Amino acid sequence: MSAGRNFINQLFDRAKNVSDVFTVKHTRAVKWQERTLRKMLFKARNTAFGREFGFEDLLLESNPTLSFRSKVPIVTYEGMRPWWQRQYQGESDITWPGSPKYFALSSGTTAGSSKYIPVGDDQLKAIKRAGLRQLFGIAKTDIPKDFFTKHYLMIGGSTDLQYNGFNYSGDLSGITMDNVPFWMDRFTKPTDEIKREKDWHSKIDIMVKEAPNWDVSMIAGGPAWVKMLLEKVIAHYGLNNIHEIWPHFSVYSWGAVSLSPYKDQIDSMLGRPIMYFETYLASEGFIAYQNRLNADGMTLALRNMMFFEFIPFDEHHFSDTGEPLDPFFALGIGDVEEGKDYAIVITTCGGAWRYLIGDTVRFVNLDACEIKITGRTKQFLSICGEHLSVDNMNDGVLTTAHHFGFHCPEFTVKGYKNSKGVMSHRWFLSCDNTEVLNNSAAVASALDATLAELNDDYATERKHVLTNMKLHLFPESVFYEFMDRRGKLGGQAKFPRVMPDAMFSEWIHFLDESQPDWGGLD
């Protein structure tokens, strides 16, 4: 047996017999988090950021955690940007000791301009630790032992990163694929040559040709791009399902978006059931991972050089535009409640300090510190008080699509006011059923009724202020053509569920050009 496979099997045996060393318990979480923050304050005390906010003095306080919250403000990307820009230009010891080798390039889903987020050695180690802990969770299932000696297919951005003379930048998935642990390197696919490919269409075509040479047991990647690859492999080789070419495919790990719009289509391409494991890997760090089969949520990576805080996502703590009302207020892990939505604030070993990442989460199992992502602080609809969350949108669209018998992996919505001042929601849904494509009025009526059942505020505003709702159906290819035109195919790119203003005008212009009969805006 090769040394690599022997090492993998040793890890497998360890995972099968591991104690609860990686099991998170809410009763322990407060102490874990306090220790984590102390370690981070100590390590960063001599950085420019640490000196600015007196980290050395904070460590002498009787309660460093409380002092940290009272003296360091909560910030968004714009608050960290001046510090990170200095690192990007080659300065060392700014927000974290040393100088980061990488910067993750992210535009998120609510802003158009790119964000450069530092990813240093400590951050990469933390990402690898969290990934390993999720693998331990997978190992505790009834997965066969040889699962870990098959191929792991990672579908992400290019590893051909940009270099500015000081550091490399690119999609986080490209950075992580370029830094897989040594014991996984020989088992990961695609090949380094394919990983470096920048053109998404070329990358997919090459992967389709290479598919028979791989014995894939696990796939990791965004649902839209995984679905696209599976469809092309099945079509190219005339298969009934993907298991005819990859018989050992057993686990799919995804993140960044809700799986629900894509799951039915992925399931339809399988020859047998597989296991699904969700991850919460953002450009700012590995935040949470699902480590139990069929768990409702993901476990926070509490002992992984990341400190968590939570702001209740309600009208008392956020403005109508999604801005926090108090630049210092946030709750610790010991103060949160199950079933409530919170905006998540993180402090990381990548040099993010009290960083409002923009996601909202809900604790679904407080004892196990398990969360689910419910939306974005600025990606919701509330043009007149309807407070429609992304969670509501996903549920409403999925229910409606099932009712009419079509798949809707991509959709977006925009709050819109016409020239007469009439406020409305404009929905754009993908649809693979040609009969339904010409029945948008019925789909709109059903979606409207479903959303009213899911959200009382929406139901109220639809009766009084939000007097109009329009819905447009397009083939799925229209959405991907738009992404392709914007250079956003593959990697961590995703179609926004709530369309930003700048992108909306670009989207309408694209529809006017490519779909001249779509009807347009009134």
Q: Which of 42-51, 117-126, 179-188 has the lowest mean pLDDT?
A: 179-188
Span 3-18+123-282 CATH architecture: 3-Layer(aba) Sandwich (3.40)
| Mean pLDDT across the chain | 90
Flag whether pLDDT at 109 surpasses 50: no
Q: What does DSSP say about strands 151-155 and 115-119: parallel, antiparallel, or unpaired?
A: unpaired
Band of residue 112 on the pLDDT scale cut at 50, 70, 90: very low
Flag whether pLDDT at 492 surpasses 60: yes
Q: What is the largest CA-CA distance in the chain?
A: 74
DSSP state of 468: E
Q: Alpha-carbon distance 183 to 105, whole Å?
A: 27
Flag whether pLDDT at 131 surpasses 60: yes
Contact partners, residue 317, CB within 8 Å, separation at least 6: 311, 324, 325, 326, 329, 343
Q: From residue 161, how far is each of 103, 107, 429, 485 by CA, in Å?
A: 10, 16, 34, 21
Cα-trace Rg, the chain: 23
Q: Alpha-carbon distance 463 to 456, whole Å?
A: 11
Q: What is the pLDDT of residue 376?
A: 85
Interval 180-232: pLDDT, tens:
877 777 789 999 999 999 999 999 999 999 999 999 999 999 999 999 999 99
Residue 322 tokens read as: 């999604």
Q: With pLDDT > 70 as the criterion, what percentage of the chain qualifies?
A: 94
pTM of this prediction? 0.84
Interval 389-448: pLDDT, tens:
888 999 999 999 999 999 999 999 998 887 777 888 999 999 999 999 999 999 999 999
Backbone torsions φ then ψ of 464, nearest 5 degrees:
-120, -60
DSSP state of 211: G
Q: Are residues 361 and 374 in contact, defined by beta-carbon separation less than 8 angstroms?
A: yes
Residue 396: name the closest of 460, 445, 462 by CA.
Answer: 445
Q: What is the pLDDT of residue 513?
A: 94
Q: What is the pLDDT of residue 453?
A: 94
Span 390-514 CATH architecture: 2-Layer Sandwich (3.30)
Residue 138: name the closest of 320, 290, 322, 301 by CA.
Answer: 290
Q: Are residues 24 and 300 in contact, defined by beta-carbon separation less than 8 angstroms?
A: yes
DSSP-assigned letters across all residues of 484-515:
HHTT--STT----SB--HHHHHHHHHHHHHH-
The ranges of the chain annotated as CATH 3.30.300 are: 390-514
Backbone torsions φ then ψ of 23, nearest 5 degrees:
-85, 125
Flag whether pLDDT at 320 surpasses 80: no
- Determine the average pLDDT of the residues in 134-138: 89
Interval 338-397: pLDDT, tens:
999 999 999 999 999 999 999 999 999 999 999 999 888 877 777 877 878 888 999 999
The ranges of the chain annotated as CATH 3.40.50 are: 3-18+123-282
Q: What does DSSP say about strands 162-163 and 423-430: parallel, antiparallel, or unpaired?
A: unpaired
